[in-house]
Amino acid sequence: MSQETLLIVKQQSQPEGLDALLSRLAEEHGMDAYACRQRLMGQGFALLGRGARDTLERVSSLLKEAQFHHWLTTPTRPQFAPAQIRSLEQTVDGIVFTCQKKRVTFEKGTAVLAVLADLSGRLADRSAKQLISSYTYQGRDHITHLSEEKIYRTIMENKPVLDLYFLDDRKTIVEAVRVVPGKFDHKGLGERATLSSRRNLHEMIGLCREYAGDFQLETGLGLSTLPGCALDKLVDDNSDILRKNLKALTRYGWLMVELKQQGGISLQQEVTSLTGSLTAALLAQNPALAGSEDLAEAMPVVGELAAEINRATQAAASETATSTRPPTRSLPAPPEPVRVRRNWLSPKVWLGSVGGLLTAVVLILLGTTDSILPAMMHYGFEVGAFPALLAALMFCGGFHYLHLKRQVENTPTSKVRSVAMGMVEVKGKAIRQYALISPKTNIACAWYRLTNYRREGNKNWVISSVKSSETVPFLLEDETGRIVVDPAGATVRAGNKKEGFSSRNSISLAADYSDRNGSEKWVEEIIYEGTNLYVLGFASVKKEQGQSLNEKKREALRDLKRDSAAMKRFDTDEDGQISESEWEEARASVEDQVLKQSLGKNDRRRRQEEQIVIVNPTGRRPFIIAETHCETHLTRSFGYYAVPLFVGATVCTAWAISLLFG
Amino acid sequence: MTGWIVLGVLLLILLGLILYVILIYNGFVQLKNNINRDWSNIDVLLKQRYDELPKLIKVCEGYMQHEQKTLEAVIKARSMAGAARADQDRMQAQNALSETLKSLFMVVERYPDLKADAGFRQLSNRISELEDQIADRRELYNAAVTIYNTRIDQFPDVLIARPFNFTSRTLWEIDPTHRQDVDVSFQHS
């Protein structure tokens, strides 16, 4: 029976042409695109597939086209685990490691594969946090992974262990040792020895690098998803977990050596094969050289040419790697909420005040405070005032929703590129303009509303506070461009709602139900970045920032007046005075100059997001922001609200009449 | 008592109907004004394009001495667009202008020096941008007209539209000849 082959890939942070590769993997090989995306993106190694070699070879050719480093391997079981060192001794020819049962000599010039890993299993957590924070602050298109330096530092800060594999010329393992910080006599490091166990481990890596002919350090355990190489999180130094993680480390080390033996179908491999092809081509032209054992000696030109190609290809590869890296986008912090001052002259305030005063007067006229409640009950229910009031409110509510429904239906959808001033309807994806995150669930979002509840009595929840991001504008993106939406005063219908029963902040993405019987509860409504939005609002020109053209012109003219030398240039008749016609000429010249300067600075046209903003319309016109996949869904929901309100209004009217005449 | 209840509910329904009629009527007024506004918004862009064209022609003239016919066609179309008054005439004139501009940009391909000219690039980009925006707003105008025309023919809106004389509006359609397949020939005369 043939042994199973594994297809292992080196993950990439921002692979180019990933979507095309995923669709081909799905179409041609029936592989799940989502799972493949997870396996192909990242920082470590991942198992992309396992099975018959011929099938995997076909997948391999696709990966090769997409320039993914990958290996087809039939893994062997580790034949021995690295022996833990107790001490070391540096000699002229190398380093002698003393382990419990044997002595291992590391001869100078030997190839070494070093695997440095954090056995606490926290590297994966750190990586996840990095992904979340970069997503939050830099946006979904600019996710950055942990840098090599950070990975190294994280490993060193937790529970680091170093495995050293000494390889022969055929890259097979000759010996292997394990270095556990604090568990070996550091005096053997000589001048490198320090009082810090982790620093000593760092120095050990440096020492091995110095002695090794070919030194390769692997730090990907914990970030990789390879069979048998998963690390469990170490809790309270649990010996079982530690033992399991050490086994995973051994497996990972052996697997890395196997991959190193293969060399991989990498870019470097491509170069080698290119060199090989070139050599073959030259040999074909000169068959006399075919029998030569040492091509470099026999054909120095080929060697030089190959080296030249190597250099050029590596330079091109490094250039591509740097040039294709997207520029990092750091979103600014959200603006501070503006405290809205109450406008005492607004009609709403006046109506409220006058209404309240009248109610108070009526209540006083009805009798003393003791008899207010009975009087209200009498007029409210016996005469039917309450049901009548309820009917009126429901009737108005019904018409409000009907009006909204028709308003949405009657407004055609504009494209962002050509939005005109006035009431507009636009549809697109929500994109953050500021680094906004939801306060409870810590998710990157374009908008949120947090409602806090307090338990009153046994069951009832009462709203204690409401906080929203209505002062934080966001962008709406359709296929033609982006536009700013200022959500202040909008009726927002968010599609996502998270609920928690604890007042503590939670980093987890799920709601916190740990304190279900507590006295506090929160509900967070969120519009995630990238969700489809419907916006009906008023498009207006943004307030101009900086000096306007006229201000610039005025300032330039003031400067000209102060500069007597410059003024002399316009004194064409040289009488020492600037006449009216001369001044007109000077003014025209300055204006022209300012205009040219202004155009020179802004030779590109300003984008919609820089000049237009959708805001709350004045008057009774609606401002709706709704997370919905289609407009009909929204209008239908308005209809669903209106119908029961009308039915309720009719019932309440009948009730009021029956009370009045009953 | 039951009679009073029935009467009350009927009155409420009557009130609801009156308000509904008002709602529909106001909806028509809003739609009509939306159409007028959308048309005016197109006009704003057409005016911008109209103003940019002389500059473009001036730049082109320096390079394209052998394409006088094309340039004259653009100038003529521009004059017609400026002179048109009725909505239908204006739509046709603007369509014709768009077509002559397309021809002009096609001819420009033969003049690499002109294509390399910074002024021409800036102006052609600006006009292309305006063309895109005009197309978007034309779509919006047509969408507004479609909503309006559908509403006035729908029940129960038709019962209000007819007595108040809300009549259907014309869509901005392209010239039927432009729906034909493009005949591409690579043979030079």
Write the pLDDT tens digit of every residue in A605-653. 556 667 788 998 887 788 999 998 788 888 888 889 989 998 998 888 8
What is the distance in angstroms between the Cα of B186 and the nearest Cα belonging to chain A? 33
**For A237-292, how does the pLDDT look when each residue is reduced to its tens digit (9 = 90+)?**
788 888 888 898 999 999 888 888 877 433 333 333 333 333 333 333 333 333 33
Residues from chain A that touch B1, judged by Cβ atoms under 8 A, are 658, 661-662
Closest CA to A452 of A407, A415, A499: A499
- Domain around A12: 1-74
A419 to chain B: closest CA residue: B137
B134 with B48: CB under 8 angstroms? no
Chain A nearest CA to B133, separation (Å)? 5
**Do A214 and A363 reside in the same domain of the chain?**
no
Residue ending a domain, choose from A339, A373, A407: A373
The pair of three-digit structure tokens given for residue A276, joined into one six-digit string? 């090989």
Give the rounded percent of residues in chain A with a pLDDT score beyond 70: 78
Please tell me whether residues A118 and A149 are part of one structural domain: yes
Domain boundary, last residue among A233, A264, A295 = A264
The reply to whether residue A653 touches residue B129, judged by beta carbons under 8 angstroms, is no
Q: Using CA atoms, how far apart are residues A198 and A158, in angstroms rounded to an integer?
A: 10
> Which helix (H) or strand (E) element contains residue A615?
strand A612-615
Interface mutation target, options B41, B42, B145, chain A, most CBs of A under 10 Å: B41
A437 touches A427 (CB < 8 A): no
Output the pLDDT for position A391. 87
d(CA A34, CA A388): 58
Mean pLDDT value of segment A227-239 = 81
State whether B19 and A399 contact (CB < 8 Å).
yes
Dist. CA A609–CA A482, nearest whole Å: 5
Cα–Cα dist A311/A643, whole Å: 75
Same domain, A111 and A39: no
Among A115, A211, A110, A219, which residue's Cα sits nearest to residue A167? A110
> Alpha-carbon distance A642 to A636, whole Å?
10
- Contact criterion met (CB below 8 Å) for A120 and A154: no
Integer Cα distance of A446 and A426 in angstroms: 16
Whether residues B147 and A418 touch (CB distance < 8 A) is answered with no
Mutation for B interface: A389, A393, A401, A657, most B CBs within 10 A: A657
Higher pLDDT, A473 or A580: A473
Q: Are A110 and A169 in contact (CB under 8 A)?
A: no
Which residues does A contribute to its contact with B (CB < 8 Å)? Answer: 391, 395, 399, 402-403, 406, 409-415, 417-418, 420, 422, 480, 603, 605, 646, 649-650, 653-654, 656-658, 660-662
In angstroms, the first-to-last Cα distance of chain B is 94
Cα(B173)–Cα(B92) distance, integer angstroms:
9
Q: What is the pLDDT of residue B172?
A: 77
Tell how far CA B165 is from the center of its chain.
Answer: 24
Number of domains present in the structure of chain B: 1
Least confident of A96-105, A542-551, B22-31, B37-46: A542-551
Q: How far is B102 from chain A (nearest CA, A)?
A: 20
Q: How many CB pairs under 8 A join A and B?
A: 77
Query: Is the residue at B55 inside a domain?
Result: yes
**What does each C-alpha distance from B30 to A407, B26, B33, B184 come to in angstroms?**
9, 6, 5, 46
What does the angle CA B118 – CA B124 – CA B125 come to, to the nearest 5 degrees? 90
- Here the CATH number for the domain that contains residue B54 is 1.20.1440.20
Mean model confidence pLDDT for chain A? 78
**Residue of chain B nearest A421, judged by CA positions:** B41
Q: How many other CB atoms are there within 10 angstroms of residue A435's CB atom?
A: 17
In B, minimum Cα distance to A413 occurs at B140
Question: Are A126 and A149 found together in one domain?
Answer: yes
Q: Are B151 and B80 in contact (CB under 8 A)?
A: no
Of B122, B136, B146, the CB nearest to A418: B136
Can you read off the two tokens belonging to residue A88?
Answer: 């070391």
Q: Are residues A36 and A139 in the same domain?
A: no
Partners of B27 on chain A (C-beta within 8 Å) are: 406, 410
Q: What is the pLDDT of residues B6-43, one digit of tens each?
A: 777 788 888 888 888 888 898 889 888 888 888 888 88
Identify the residue whose tokens are 């007028």.
B36
Residue A82 has pLDDT above 50, yes or no: yes
Q: Give the total number of structural domains in chain A.
A: 3
Q: Judge whether residue A387 has pLDDT over 60.
A: yes
**Are the beta carbons of A535 and A625 closer than 8 angstroms?**
yes
The gap from C-alpha A323 to its chain's centroid, in whole angstroms, comes to: 21
Domain membership flag for residue B185: no
* Cβ distance of A418 and B126 shorter than 8 Å: no
Instruction: List the structure tokens of A343.
Output: 């406008």
A420 located within any domain = no
pLDDT in tens, A358-378: 777 776 666 655 666 676 677
The CA R_g of chain B, rounded to the nearest whole Å, is 25
Q: Which residue would you say has higher pLDDT here, A349 or A406?
A: A406
Tell whether A67 and A87 lie within a shared domain.
no
Chain B residues within 8 A of A391 when measuring between CB atoms: 12
Task: For residue B126, list chain A residues with Cβ-Cβ distance below 8 A.
Answer: 605
Residue B188 burial (CB count, 10 A): 4
Kindly tell me the burial class for residue A213, based on how many C-beta atoms sit within 10 Å of its own C-beta (0-12, 13-18, 19 or more).
exposed
Distance in angstroms (rounded) separating the CA atoms of residues A91 and A106: 10
Q: Is residue A358 part of a domain?
A: yes
Radius of gyration over alpha carbons of chain A, in Å?
Answer: 37
pLDDT at A340: 52
Q: Is residue B182 in some structural domain?
A: no
Q: For residue B35, what are the domain limits?
A: 2-168
B5–A409 CB contact, under 8 Å: no
Choose the closest CB to B9 out of A410, A653, A660.
A653
Q: Which residues of chain B have a CB within 8 Å of the CB of A480?
A: 132, 136
Q: Where are the beta strands (DSSP E) in A361-459?
A: 422-432, 445-456
Cα–Cα dist A644/A632, whole Å: 19
Cα distances (angstroms) measured from residue B39 to each of A149, A299, B32: 60, 77, 11
Q: Which two tokens stand for residue A28?
A: 């041609």
* Rounded Cα distance, A104 and A166, in Å: 10
Most A CBs within 10 Å, among B9, B33, B140, B171, to test the A interface? B140
> How far is residue A81's CA from residue B166's CA, in Å, rounded to a whole number?
89
Please give the Cα distance from B49 to B132 (Å, whole number). Answer: 11
What element of type H or E holds A279? helix A267-285
pLDDT given for residue A338 in this prediction: 59
In chain B, whose CA is at the least distance from the CA of A423? B34
- CB neighbours of A25 closer than 8 A, spacing ≥ 6? A31, A33, A36, A59, A62
CATH code of the domain containing A68: 3.30.1390
Amino acid identity of residue A394, one-letter, is: M
Q: What is the pLDDT of residue A310?
A: 46
Q: Answer whether residue A323 shows pLDDT above 70.
A: no
Residue A150 reports pLDDT greater than 80: yes
Q: Which amino acid is at B149?
A: N
- Residue of A396, A400, A405, A410 to mutate for B, most B C-beta atoms under 10 A: A410
The one-letter code for the residue type at B145 is V
Please state the rounded mean pLDDT for residues A338-353: 63
Residues A99 and A154 in one domain: yes
Do A67 and A117 fall into the same domain?
A: no
Cβ-Cβ contacts under 8 Å, B16 against chain A: 395, 646
Residue B139 counted as domain residue: yes
Query: What is d(CA A521, CA A463) in angstroms, rounded to the nearest whole number?
Result: 9
> Taking Cα atoms as reference points, which of A559, A558, A586, A551 lies closest to residue A571?
A586
Residue B175 placed within a domain: no
Distance CA A333, CA A434 (A): 6
Question: What are the structure tokens assigned to A572, written together?
Answer: 């064409």
3-state secondary structure of A520: strand
User: Looking at this predicted complex, what is its ipTM?
Assistant: 0.71
- A639: closest CA of chain B, how far (Å): 14
What distance in Å separates the CA atoms of residue B101 and residue B109, rounded to the nearest whole number?
Answer: 13
**B12, B44, B45 ranked by CB distance to A653: nearest:** B12
Last residue of a domain, one of A47, A74, A101: A74
pLDDT band at A485 (very low <50, low <70, confident <90, very high): very high
Structure tokens at A626: 């709704």
Q: Does the residue B149 lie in any domain?
A: yes
